[in-house]
Amino acid sequence: MSRLILALDVYEREDALRIAEEVRDYLWAIKVNWPLILGSGISIISELKERTGLPIIADFKVADIPNTNRLIAKKTFEAGADYLIAHGFVGRDSIKAIQEEGEVIIVVEMSHPGAKEFIQPTVDKLIELANEIKPFGIIAPATRPERVRYIREKVDKDIKILTPGVGAQGGSAVETLKAGADYIIVGRAIYKSKNPRESAKKIWEEIENGA
Ligand code: C5P
């Protein structure tokens, strides 16, 4: 099974469906984020699922009180999403409210420079939270393999580590997998490429040969 996830951050429905179909053979799942939902509507989730047959991860980085998290989660899973990404810093009760509706993935650290300001100092507590409530997975940054290694050592083995930041943000798929990631998330390096299928194939081969 592939370990590559496409971050499909385009606005237009037609672009999203075309790219998804072109690259689906090399993917484990497709991650949708606000740009695509705001551009094409929530129905794009079920359309992508029907066209590709792949799991859909809704990267809404939900961060609200338990009741609002639950309301958001209900609609997201009803729309066909298989996983919902949420922030852990809002606390256990908010995450548990999502888990009552479906599979959750918690952001433990982020891949951009600003992550050092607030998220990084709380990583240990977020790992503790993950080990306690057992989400499907957590998000860690491919831009910092040493942080992936640190997180892998501390987080339970059956919790998957998904890592964005490969390609456009400078991270390497092979280094990140060696550090302990389970899945690699790639956006621009695939969807902005002149030939998305070729680019996805190249990263897939790198993953297969290098990890
Ligand atoms: O285009 P690129 O490959 O940089 O896309 C990365 C994707 O992963 C984007 O959808 C971004 O919002 C998301 N993401 C991230 N870092 C995180 C969590 C999510 O880059 N910590």
For ligand 1, the distance from its centroid to the CA atom of residue 134, given in whole angstroms, is 22
What is the count of structural domains for the chain?
A: 1
pLDDT digits (tens, 9 = 90+) for 46-75: 999 999 999 999 999 999 999 999 999 999
**CA of 141, closest atom in ligand 1:** 21
Average pLDDT over residues 16-34: 98
Does 80 score more than 90 pLDDT? yes
Per-residue b/e over 134-171, b at no fewer than 16 CB within 10 Å? Answer: ebbbbbbbbbbbebbbbbbeebeeebbbbbbbbbebeb
**Which atom in ligand 1 lies closest to the alpha carbon of residue 167?**
3
Q: What is the CA radius of gyration of the chain?
A: 16
Q: Is the CB of 186 under 6 A from ligand 1?
A: yes
Q: State the CATH number of the domain containing residue 14.
A: 3.20.20.70
Domain range for 150 is: 4-210
In this predicted complex, what is the ipTM? Answer: 0.92
Look at ligand 1, atom 18, and give the residue with the nearest C-alpha: 110
Supply the residues annotated as catalytic.
59, 61, 64
pLDDT tens per residue, range 155-184: 999 999 999 999 988 889 999 999 999 999
**Across-strand partners of 184?**
4, 163
